[in-house]
């Protein structure tokens, strides 16, 4: 009995072995605070941001009022986070979905009934999409009521309007994909409205439907828009949006 190490000793041992392993040392490069052990100091607080590619979206320091939840209500950040969640759940859905009129509905049905967590992930994708439209809209309202669209941020407002449009288009293109009665008729109504655009309404409708009426070509077209083109474009505009927030001197001050 006296020879057996205590749990605390074992933990220390394990910690030692992990931190001196090849993998650990190649991930946490020399000089990394996570290698040296984090102690709370202004310098280490700065390093956390500066040494991370993801946190680098942030400056090292922000104005004190900027971290108050009651100012932004986290709405811009949540819009972005929901977009990430949608990407993750969307990739999961892509594994089980084929965008043809003959297969789409069946694939969704099978996903819900025989894929582990299929229904849950589909639900999450659906509700996150609704939530994102809501949070983007509320974020816009927040910016409006703070007057945060005023110079020098007027250009970022324009980027924001593009982001709102792209969010709505993502939502709309996704709506068709289950290929059920709801999808078909909602999109029929939507695209019929496009047909009444003056001058080139019918051409717009034809291009978007990939034919005179909704069919399997429409499904493929909207699928590619939904999973590839629109996300690609929105990511670019989000990058510009975040870059502008910092270029305009961080988020605006309180009124």
Partner 1 sequence: MTEIPEHLRKRAEEARKKAAGASSASASGGDAPASSSAPAGSAGADAPQSEAASKIPAHLLERAKKARQKASGDDGGDAGATTTATAPAPAAAATAVAAAAPPMAAGPGGHTQRLLTVVKSGSIQDVKATPQDKVHVWPHLLAVEFVAALLCTAFLLIFSVFVNAPLLTLANTNQTPNPRRPPGTSSASRSC
Task: Give the Cα separation of 40 and 123 in Å (integer).
Answer: 41
Contacting ligand HEM (CB under 6 A), which of 33, 47, 76, 184?
76
Stretch that binds ligand HEM, among 17-25, 26-34, 212-220, 244-252 (CB under 6 A): 244-252
Return the structure tokens found at 46.
């700065």
CB 188 → ligand HEM: shortest distance, Å?
A: 27
Query: 224-232: long-range contacts at Cβ-Cβ below 8 A with a sequence spacing of 24 or more?
Result: 225/169, 225/173, 226/170, 226/173, 226/174, 226/177, 227/90, 227/94, 230/166, 230/169, 230/170, 230/173, 231/87, 231/170
Torsional sign, CA 42, 48, 51, 55: negative
Stretch that binds ligand HEM, among 11-19, 105-113, 134-142, 182-190 (CB under 6 A): 134-142
**Binding flag, residue 136, ligand HEM (CB under 6 A):** yes
Closer residue to partner 1 in complex, CB, 66/162: 66
| Contact set for partner 1, span 172-211 (CB under 8 A) | 178-185
Local structure of residue 152 (DSSP, 8 states) = T
Return the structure tokens found at 182.
């709801």
Half-sphere exposure of 79 (CA within 13 A, CB side): 24
**Binding flag, residue 78, partner 1 (CB under 8 A):** yes
Mark 157-176 with x for binding to ligand HEM (rule: CB under 6 A) and - for no binding: x--xx-xx--x---------
Half-sphere exposure of 106 (CA within 13 A, CB side): 5
Under the rule (CB under 8 A), what is the footprint of partner 1? Answer: 42, 45-46, 48-49, 55, 58-64, 66-67, 69, 74, 77-78, 81-82, 85, 101, 105, 108-109, 112, 119-120, 122-128, 131, 178-185, 213-214
Under the rule (CB under 6 A), what is the footprint of ligand HEM? Answer: 72, 75-77, 79-80, 136, 139-140, 143, 146, 148-149, 153, 156-157, 160-161, 163-164, 167, 238, 241, 245, 251-252
């Amino acid at each position: 009995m006296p020879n057996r190490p205590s749990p605390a000793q074992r933990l220390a041992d394990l910690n030692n072995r992990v931190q001196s392993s090849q993998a650990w040392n190649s991930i946490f490069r020399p000089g990394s605070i996570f290698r040296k052990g984090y102690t709370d100091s202004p310098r280490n607080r700065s390093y956390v941001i500066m040494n991370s590619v993801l946190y680098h979206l942030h400056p090292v320091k922000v104005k004190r009022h900027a971290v108050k939840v009651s100012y932004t209500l986290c709405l811009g950040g949540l819009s972005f986070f929901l977009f990430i969640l949608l990407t993750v759940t969307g990739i999961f859905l892509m594994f089980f979905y084929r965008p043809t009129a003959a297969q789409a509905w069946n694939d969704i049905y099978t996903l819900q009934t025989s894929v582990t967590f299929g229904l849950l992930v589909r639900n999450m994708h659906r509700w996150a999409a609704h939530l994102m439209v809501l949070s983007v809209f509320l974020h816009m309202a927040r910016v409006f009521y703070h007057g945060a669209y005023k110079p020098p941020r007027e250009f970022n407002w324009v980027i924001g309007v593009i982001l709102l449009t792209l969010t709505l288009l993502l939502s709309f293109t996704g709506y068709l994909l289950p290929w059920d009665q709801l999808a078909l008729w909602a999109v029929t109504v939507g695209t019929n409205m496009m047909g009444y655009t003056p001058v080139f309404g019918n051409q717009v409708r034809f291009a978007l439907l990939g034919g005179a009426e909704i069919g399997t070509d429409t499904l493929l077209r909207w699928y590619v828009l939904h999973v590839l083109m629109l996300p690609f474009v929105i990511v670019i505009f989000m990058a510009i949006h975040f870059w502008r927030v910092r270029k305009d001197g961080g988020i605006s001050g309180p009124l």
